[in-house]
Amino acid sequence: KNEVEQSPQNLTAQEGEFITINCSYSVGISALHWLQQHPGGGIVSLFMLSSGKKKHGRLIATINIQEKHSSLHITASHPRDSAVYICAVSPYPKLIFGTGTLLAVQP
Amino acid sequence: GAVVSQHPSRVICKSGTSVKIECRSLDFQATTMFWYRQFPKQSLMLMATSNEGSKATYEQGVEKDKFLINHASLTLSTLTVTSAHPEDSSFYICSARALADSYNEQFFGPGTRLTVL
């Protein structure tokens, strides 16, 4: 069993829909990261959180440390949100990555 | 936010040649840089952890004589793939962690796509 599990693996949505991607982990962590990887490969760090909730524009990330679970929400999704979203956890000093969720937002 | 650059972004080389990839932190000092490899449709795999001024720590299964890492300054780490072979073709990504960061926030470079013919 992977130490970091993401669901769903693939997600297709219509423009404007509310999207949720889930991440569960089984190790003790100091922080959890949500990353975005576009076709072509470059990775952008969206959030780093260790408790509660963070919001940036249309993106919201939450974490429940007791349940070892995090969610990434995208409100009013847009085709430019199409990418792979990766959850990574930080049992210092390394990062352990989930396998990613491929999101396709159709116009 | 902090910016990490990689050069080159794309390289094609012949089998048996060596390829050097640079990773730079542009606006912050990085005590630690990480090198990852990503095969198609797979997640990132940590290859090695590079600390400024000391030898890199390699993950199990990664050949240190094949993947030479040098971290000569607080803003630059290099990965040299020696005697590259087609199976080394992959996407190589570096990340950097700032000084005194206790949460392990890493800033990622844009990646280098290596194709070995």
DSSP string, chain B: ---EEEE-SEEEE-TT--EEEEEEESSS-EEEEEEEEE-TTS--EEEEEEETTS--EEPTT--TTTEEEEEEETTEEEEEE-S--GGG-EEEEEEEEETT-SS--EEE---EEEEE-
**pLDDT value for B17:** 97
> CB atoms < 10 A from the CB of A83, how many?
19
**pLDDT value for A22:** 98
Q: Is the pLDDT of residue B1 over 80?
A: no
Residue B109 in contact with residue B93, Cβ under 8 Å?
yes
Residue B6 in contact with residue B109, Cβ under 8 Å?
yes
CB contact under 8 A, B102 and A98: no
**pLDDT value for A95:** 87
**pLDDT value for B65:** 94
Alpha-carbon torsion (A105, A22, A60, A93), positive or negative: negative
Q: Which member of B43, B46, B110 has the closest CB to residue A100?
A: B43
> CB atoms < 10 A from the CB of A10, how many?
10
**Chain A interface, mutation test: which of B59, B104, B112, most A Cβ atoms within 10 Å?**
B104
Question: Considering chain B, what percentage of its residues have pLDDT values greater than 70?
Answer: 94
Question: Which residues in chain B have Cβ-Cβ distances shorter than 8 Å to A92?
Answer: 102-104
Question: Which residues in chain B have Cβ-Cβ distances shorter than 8 Å to A99?
Answer: 42-43
Tens digit of pLDDT for each residue in A66-83? Answer: 999 999 999 999 999 999
User: How many angstroms away from the CA of A97 is the closest CA of chain B?
Assistant: 7
Tens digit of pLDDT for each residue in B55-94? Answer: 899 999 999 999 999 988 889 999 999 999 999 999 999 9
